[in-house]
Structure 1
Amino acid sequence: MLDLIRLLRPRATLFGAGFDAFGEWGLSFRKRDDLLFCRIERGECQLVRPGYATRHIKKGDFVLIRTSTPFTLTSNGSVEPVDSETAVSVSKRNKLRLGSGEGRPVTLHAGKFVVETANEALLTGLLPQLIHIAADGPSLGRIRSLLAMNEMEAREPGPASEFIILRLVELILVEIMRSHHLQESRENKGLLAGLSDKITERALAAMHRDVARNWTVADLAELSGVSRSKFATRFRKVVGTGPIEYLLQWRMALAKNELQAGIKSVSEIAFAIGFQSSSAFSSAFTREVGCPPSQLRHPNRVGPT
């Protein structure tokens, strides 16, 4: 998990000061493959996604959503929504106002998580498309404590409040990723699901601990205490890819991170992640990533490749 967080380095950005809505209103979000979050400070609304059941979100709720499909926040599903990007671009206020009148007020704060560009694809398979943490739902102690701190800071802002709120939201994401309750979501495949599975967890931990080792499916199956065929089937079902394919993807993720850091040479990176030559690494990297390692190297790097 720590390896993953170090590669992603998630950072939160807020969408201005949030928005206030009254009466009948709707705000739509386009398909962007971003990871957005929102917290309801007061009132309630609906979250509508094509092909999914409508979600009712209330005061104190926190929602984490990937915009792999468009979605709408609305007072009810029959209202024609305003496009969020258009509304923000034409508004001259830091805090958006929607609807009309003063009835049924809703205040909502939203933003998105930004991760290191080189490995942002890792995030796609980590979390379900939607995570809804209800204010009155089953306990997720640390997350709820962070949300309470976030709400207090928003209600009683002081010096550096925006900085504090952003760091709290980032910690909320990390806690969501750590939560076994969410890792076991049937909607999820990937590393987090694999780390919560009794069969695949040992194999994943071993590959991350010794990424340079020449692992075989038989080695990993023995570590996991099951037959080779059972292990391979289970790994693909839970993680979403074969074990050796996963190992290669993880090696490439580590390599992209090192290349952008610009500290190690290509040959040093190659040997550190299990390749016997820089040429073999370069060929594999180009095949998997779509460009040679030199294209991702930090521009200030000086030294041999």
Structure 2
Amino acid sequence: MSDPLTQVVRLLKPRALLWKQLDTRGPWAIRYPSLQDTIFVLVTEGNARLQLPGRPTRTMVTGDFLMMTAPEEWMMGDSEETKPIRFQPPQSNPSARSIVTDPSSTAPTFKLLGGRFSFDRTHLGLLKDILPSVVEIGFATSGATRVASLLKMLGTEAWEGRPGSALVIERLLEILLIEVMRYQGEEQANVNPGLLAGLADPQIAACLEALHQDPSRDWSVATLAKAAGASRSVFAQRFCEVVGLPPMQYLLKWRMALAKEMISQGVSISEIAFACGYQSASGFSVAFARHVGCPPSHLRPAQN
């Protein structure tokens, strides 16, 4: 039996794609376009100025990690005086490092890794429920020891160029993604409501574990409160505060996510209805169309 976070990540099907490894000395600046992807940057050596929309400019140092979902245009560089070049994300993984350097310069070296995470687009709504749009973790951030260890391993692996390094980097990045999610839940639960905050709360976690393990059960606020070991009224209020929506609405959202996955796998509507706690295929289809905006048949994979 898998835990709620594992179940969600399996639906998201994350994959890490490395874009570029930057190695530079002297003046440099890069302007990144707005994207719909989840991108990441890891500074492996040196310092750089980071300018994000709506946030004060700050300095990133060795070991700092930045992850953003659907970011607006942003910029990194050695100073605000340097004119930036525009970055164009490659369509696939680069075959070699991107090295922009001036060998004659005595300026400090700056190195970074940049890339993106790809997810199953059917379930992008789940990602928004787990992570804020911007995640910044420093090498010395309190409570992020495991993340820091992975960042160090990534930096070493990326620049040593050992056989199999591309595959190792991809796997490390995917593990890093889950560790970042854990960190957000354990250290930022009071800041960002959602599934991770719920899993950090013992009572709410008990409820989430129960409904994730048995989504077909005829749940009610009363039975969920019992699973959490709390009174109905206290539980309902606490769940909404921590997770960000009422318990029955969360249950519906999770059931519909499971339904989308089963539809993509070709499972029959009657089987999906039963697995998601509905007494009939017609009742499920009505609920699905109301929640998703289209009937289940519209999400069926095309037949060859």
Q: TM-score range by the shorter chain?
A: 0.7 to 0.9
Give TM-score scaled by structure 1 length. Answer: 0.86
CA distance in 2 between counterparts of 1:131 and 1:76 reads 23
CA distance in 2 between counterparts of 1:183 and 1:261 reads 36
1:129 aligns with 2:126: no
Answer yes or no: is the 8 Å Cα contact 2:21–2:112 preserved in 1: yes
Give 1:34's aligned residue.
Answer: 37
Letter paired with 1:60: G
1:59 aligns with 2:58: no
Task: Describe how 1:91-106 pairs up with structure 2 within 5 A.
Answer: 95=98, 97=100, 102=105, 103-106=107-110
Answer yes or no: is the 8 Å Cα contact 1:74–1:81 preserved in 2: yes
CA distance in 1 between counterparts of 2:192 and 2:82 reads 32
Answer yes or no: is the 8 Å Cα contact 1:18–1:107 preserved in 2: yes
- 1:128-185 per-position Cα deviation (integer Å, ceiling 9, x unaligned): 3333332233353432332232222222222221111111101111122223665534
Give 1:108's aligned residue.
Answer: 112
Provide closer, same or farther for how the CA distance between residues 32 and 53 of structure 1 changes in structure 2, counting only shifts above 3 A.
same
Give 1:216's aligned residue.
Answer: 220
CA-based RMSD: 2.9
> Does the residue aligned with 1:153 lie in a helix, a strand or coil?
helix
Q: How far 1:269 moved relative to its partner?
A: 1.1
Provide closer, same or farther for how the CA distance between residues 87 and 260 of structure 1 changes in structure 2, counting only shifts above 3 A.
closer
Give TM-score scaled by structure 2 length. Answer: 0.86
CA distance in 2 between counterparts of 1:216 and 1:69 reads 41
- 1:254 paired residue among 254, 258, 265: 258
Give 1:117's aligned residue.
Answer: 121
Choose 240-249 or 100-109, whichever is displaced more: 100-109
1:184 aligns with 2:188: yes
CA distance in 2 between counterparts of 1:257 and 1:115 reads 13
Answer yes or no: is the 8 Å Cα contact 2:143–2:183 preserved in 1: no
Letter paired with 1:212: S
CA distance in 1 between counterparts of 2:103 and 2:27 reads 7
CA distance in 1 between counterparts of 2:166 and 2:89 reads 24
Answer yes or no: is the 8 Å Cα contact 2:27–2:78 preserved in 1: yes
Letter paired with 1:283: V
Give 2:144's aligned residue.
Answer: 140
- 1:203 paired residue among 207, 213, 227: 207
CA distance in 2 between counterparts of 1:141 and 1:60 reads 12
Provide closer, same or farther for how the CA distance between residues 120 and 65 of structure 1 changes in structure 2, counting only shifts above 3 A.
same
CA distance in 2 between counterparts of 1:147 and 1:288 reads 39
CA distance in 1 between counterparts of 2:227 and 2:90 reads 54
Q: How far 1:236 moved relative to its partner?
A: 1.8
> Does the residue aligned with 2:156 lie in a helix, a strand or coil?
helix
Provide closer, same or farther for how the CA distance between residues 98 and 187 of structure 1 changes in structure 2, counting only shifts above 3 A.
farther
Give 1:284's aligned residue.
Answer: 287
* Identity level (%): 38
Q: How far 1:228 moved relative to its partner?
A: 2.5
CA distance in 2 between counterparts of 1:224 and 1:21 reads 54
Q: How far 1:63 moved relative to its partner?
A: 1.9
Q: How far 1:194 moved relative to its partner?
A: 1.1
- 2:171 paired residue among 164, 167, 177: 167
- 1:105-124 per-position Cα deviation (integer Å, ceiling 9, x unaligned): 32211111111111012101
Structure 1 unmatched ranges of 5 or more: none
Give 1:3's aligned residue.
Answer: 7
Aligned residues: 298
Letter paired with 1:217: V
Answer yes or no: is the 8 Å Cα contact 1:176–1:182 preserved in 2: no
Answer yes or no: is the 8 Å Cα contact 2:143–2:187 preserved in 1: no
Structure 2 unmatched ranges of 5 or more: none
Letter paired with 2:272: I
Letter paired with 1:143: V
Give 1:239's aligned residue.
Answer: 243
CA distance in 1 between counterparts of 2:126 and 2:294 reads 18
